[in-house]
Amino acid sequence: MEIINKSDKKAVSEYESFVGNTKGVSFMQSYNWSRVKSNWNSEIVAVRGGDGNIAGACLVLIREIPFLKRSLLYVPRGPVCDYENISVLWEIFDGIDYLAKEYNAYKIICDPPVSENDSKGIELMRSLGFSRKGENSDNETVQCRCNYQLDIEGKSADEIMSGFKADHRNRIRKASRKGVYCEIKGIEGLEDFYPLMEETGARDNFPVRSYEYFKRFIEGLGENCRLFICYADIEGRKTPLSGAVAVRYSDVVTYVYGASSNEHRNLYPNYLMQWTMINWATESGCSLYDFGGIPCFRDKDSPKYGIYKFKKGFGGEVVCYAGDFVKEFNPVLCFFMQAYRFINSIRHR
């Protein structure tokens, strides 16, 4: 086991090559993700095989709490390794435990890409000293536990669209006929995207991240990140109707943030926007398009059910992860920190 020296560009590049070329890996295990999460520290744990090459690794985010001189460790959608290779997995977690001591951690959170139906994987995490959290709730985990995903491997655009519901196919075509067009932007597109994000947050009652965060997100993930914005020329003015931030990493394109105007919804910009991002995924040689989270998708009475209903029309499937796995070193502090975050979330709402 080793803790990679982040100032060693060659070592970091080797890590990035390993995780980026491993199928199905989340962009949150890219070292570039630590550039986006600039309010966190970070470390990289790596384990080498007999040939000297990396056999397993993970990015660890570290939130330090200065006034308590303690820290929280978080491994987002990792580690990256063959979970059947127990010895490598154990070594990775030895490295995470080492970092926990170095940073005086009160808790480690890990949300590995383990299915909720993978009893072996769940028991393996428990054998490493973790307890499972959030398996019965869509609101207790750091990342949304259930995503909607579309298998696009080896499929043409026509084959993919044929799997959509008829009304989704029609709305994609109608959007184009009604004059909607989608453009791919860099950070310059935030001038159009961010007002849409604020409008969506007010409409759907959720907190919106800062303009600076989205700028850091796009810049930090570089060429793997795209900002998509749908426009229509209305009354002689180029009018932004919807926008999305998507990330291409490993063999996956992930739809991360989406926003839309309250007006001109009859032009169906969201449908064309998703279709444009799916095409980006196929043109990039990806095998999976991830629509992101579908909170409360089992509850038809939930105000969030519409998210699932919209995504379901694209003919993919629900993928549910096991949830968060937590190792606590100071249960009393964990309780008070959880209460503090809960009170803050109420105040924010």
pLDDT in tens, 198-217: 999 999 988 999 999 999 99
The reported pLDDT for the residue numbered 333 is 64
Can you read off the two tokens belonging to residue 307? 């998210």
Contact by Cβ (8 Å): 39, 95: no
Helix (H) / strand (E) element for 276: namely helix 269-283
Can you read off the two tokens belonging to residue 51? 């040939």
Can you read off the two tokens belonging to residue 117? 């139906």
Q: Is the peptide bond before 66 cis (omega within 30 degrees of 0)?
A: no
Burial of 201 (0-12, 13-18, 19+ CB in 10 A): middle
Q: Which domains does the chain have, with CATH numbers?
A: 2-145+321-348 (3.40.630.30), 147-320 (3.40.630.30)
Burial of 168 (0-12, 13-18, 19+ CB in 10 A): buried
Place of tokens 């992101």: 292
Strand partners, 31: none
Q: How is 231-269 classified by DSSP, letter by letter?
A: EEEETTEEEEEEEEEEEEETTEEEEEEEEE-SS-GGG-H
The reported pLDDT for the residue numbered 65 is 86
The reported pLDDT for the residue numbered 345 is 47
Q: Averaged in consecutive runs of 10 residues, what is the pLDDT profile of the chain (349 residues)?
A: 94 97 97 94 96 96 88 96 94 97 95 94 94 78 94 96 97 97 96 97 92 97 96 95 98 98 96 98 97 92 92 96 90 58 46
Can you read off the two tokens belonging to residue 245? 């931030």
At what angle are helices 166-177 and 269-283 packed, to 10 degrees? 100
Can you read off the two tokens belonging to residue 162? 């044929």
AA letter at 54 = I
The reported pLDDT for the residue numbered 330 is 65
